A and B are shown apart, each in its own frame.
Chain A
């Protein structure tokens, strides 16, 4: 019973974190929310995997966050803000209320669909299904609403977190866990590389202007 309650707390954490990712404009907050999301996902994965293997997901996720943070840290707030303004395309309504609304709609769809999915694939557990579909939905929303590299990487990592949580329930191979960890870390490193590139390119453009 306690474990079930804890699982629902993890789902709530994931909901809060992934919604927060959709709303947050500050990279520090975004990475903190991603860390919380990995923590919630870690708990749900322990329902199907041994603690040691599940910990791989948590550690890998946090390492990915560290890689992104180390890239963004040297860029001052002003630079990051300027870069963000330069690259973000304003093709969707960008207000907080709109983002809250759309994340609420996603959460409702997920909560409504989860029991039906559990009926089709019994044994996964309702919290695991809800806790995996939420980041998948929020990740797709994030991907669809931005072209900023940092937020695209956040969207992909969020989507993959949801997928990995669900996939852990059906596949327990150590090789898959390892390869997925490589993909997560690789995605963060690619993100760090691309963020660095766009910053360098913006800086050299400025130098040319001066």
Chain B
């Protein structure tokens, strides 16, 4: 058995096979079960170590070579693979509940496989190419057949494609910087190219304008998946850069630039979220704020970067999955998710509306919810560096909180004497209920994430020190 075959090639084959199936439920079940199984294997079976099960001994070998390069996983990758595939399984199972399985699951499976490959490829720079291929695969997801592609889709394609050349070139010039560390011109050039590449990939201000556009054009369930998958893997890719190049890790200017970028994203995302009248756009701005949190985590003192960035991974996935599912549930009846169209929905879709509010509050760092523990860790780290930045973080969170309160106000504006009804299906109720409980569990007992996160610092040995 070989790790890249199990976690890269096999999911691509499963994804391609699922394209052939017509039945929504079969696609969701096969996709979700496959992703869960892959997550379970990643969590239980150590990579590159012999495992004895009774009389049978077997080992998942670490890598494969092709064209002189390799795809290689090690034992530290296991929990990360488990996180990626288990959160994907959440989306795949939930896709059936909102009638999106045939659209999301096959492409989603292939996209996750490519993004996983981007974590394992060596030299790690080639990850930019694999991420670009994943972006190209995501276009049929974002723009379904017979629907005119909107501006958001086109901008998404342009911006994500423009990231690849910058990152590949920065990798080449960074090698030059390593060879001659005193060459200031080359160092500046490399840093600019790297910054531009990641600014496009992580949609740093002002390059995030496609996200709200896309949130209006496409299904919130699909966009929530993309807003989780791409930034998560890009974050890991960026951590790989920091881990690999000592001068990037120790550069105070780069740290400051990342910090400024992060706080601008948190503040602008939070403030815009407070003024939106479209539920999908509020979710998109919240995801921008979350990317801002990640950038702020990169500006912490080196020992805390991996710890805090890792803490943000799971709550982000769960929150976006729940938010996307809840929005898709209420969207079935009203195509636009504008405030005017969803007034009084608390009495028509009580569970979905509660989940939307909970997800929004979780991103805003409300106590007892999943977003609270990582935010406290981030805030504490930031307070050690700068109280001003900590204050601006509060402004961003306050904006998100206002967004949540406005949404809540719209949901409860039902005409008088409107009765309470449950219009969610049983599957939707179960999925939404599990998601909401998950938010509370992660908020009250954040230590449940520990088995997944404990090995992440080993993936980034120098950065984790």
Could you list which residues of chain A lie within 8 angstroms of chain B, going by C-beta atoms? 120, 143, 147, 149, 152, 155-156, 159-160, 163, 166-167, 170-171, 173-176, 178-180, 182-183, 186-187, 189-190, 193-194, 197-198, 200-202, 204
Instruction: Provide the residues of chain B in CB contact with A200, threshold 8 Å.
Output: 145-146
B133 touches A183 (CB 8 A): yes
Instruction: Provide the residues of chain A in CB contact with B164, threshold 8 Å.
Output: 183
- Most B C-beta atoms less than 10 A away, residue of A147, A190, A201, A204: A190
Name the one of A167, A176, A179, A182 contacting B165, with C-beta atoms under 8 angstroms: A167
Instruction: Provide the residues of chain B in CB contact with A176, threshold 8 Å.
Output: 126, 129, 168
Is B460 close to A, CB under 8 A? no
Task: List 12 additional contacts besides A163-B168, A173-B68, A190-B136; criterion CB under 8 Å.
Answer: A167-B168, A167-B169, A173-B67, A174-B67, A175-B66, A176-B168, A178-B67, A179-B130, A182-B129, A183-B129, A194-B149, A200-B146
- Scan B120-143; emit 1 where CB is below 8 A from any A CB, else 0: 000000100110110011011001
B146 touches A156 (CB 8 A): no
**With A and B bound together, what is the CA distance between A108 and B161 in angstroms?**
26
B139 touches A175 (CB 8 A): no
Kindly provide the distance from the CB of A157 to the nearest chain B CB, expressed in whole angstroms: 10
5 closest Cβ pairs, A-B complex: A201-B148, A175-B67, A186-B136, A179-B129, A163-B165
Main secondary structure of the interface of A (DSSP, over half): helix
Nearest CB in chain A to that of B145: its residue: A197
Kindly provide the distance from the CB of B161 to the nearest chain A CB, expressed in whole angstroms: 5
**With A and B bound together, what is the CA distance between A204 and B147 in angstroms?**
10
Interface segment out of the listed B101-109, B151-159, B284-292: B151-159
- Most A C-beta atoms less than 10 A away, residue of B133, B136, B153: B136
Instruction: Provide the residues of chain A in CB contact with B154, threshold 8 Å.
Output: 147, 149, 152, 194
What total of chain B residues lie within 8 Å of the partner, measured CB to CB? 34
Name the one of B67, B137, B161, B185 contacting A156, with C-beta atoms under 8 angstroms: B161
Known: A174-B68, A186-B136. A197 touches B158 (CB 8 A): no
Name the one of A147, A171, A183 contacting B136, with C-beta atoms under 8 angstroms: A183
Instruction: Provide the residues of chain A in CB contact with B165, threshold 8 Å.
Output: 159-160, 163, 167
Kindly provide the distance from the CB of B7 to the nearest chain A CB, expressed in whole angstroms: 19
Is B238 close to A, CB under 8 A? no
- Residue contacts A-B, CB under 8 angstroms, 10 given: A120-B189, A143-B158, A159-B162, A167-B169, A174-B68, A175-B66, A175-B67, A182-B129, A186-B137, A190-B140
A190 touches B139 (CB 8 A): yes
B132 touches A183 (CB 8 A): yes
Kindly provide the distance from the CB of B255 to the nearest chain A CB, expressed in whole angstroms: 26
Nearest CB in chain A to that of B165: its residue: A163
**With A and B bound together, what is the CA distance between A160 and B132 in angstroms?**
12
**With A and B bound together, what is the CA distance between A166 and B185 in angstroms?**
19
A202 touches B148 (CB 8 A): yes
**With A and B bound together, what is the CA distance between A178 and B130 in angstroms?**
11
Name the one of B126, B157, B162, B169 contacting A190, with C-beta atoms under 8 angstroms: B157
B126 touches A175 (CB 8 A): yes
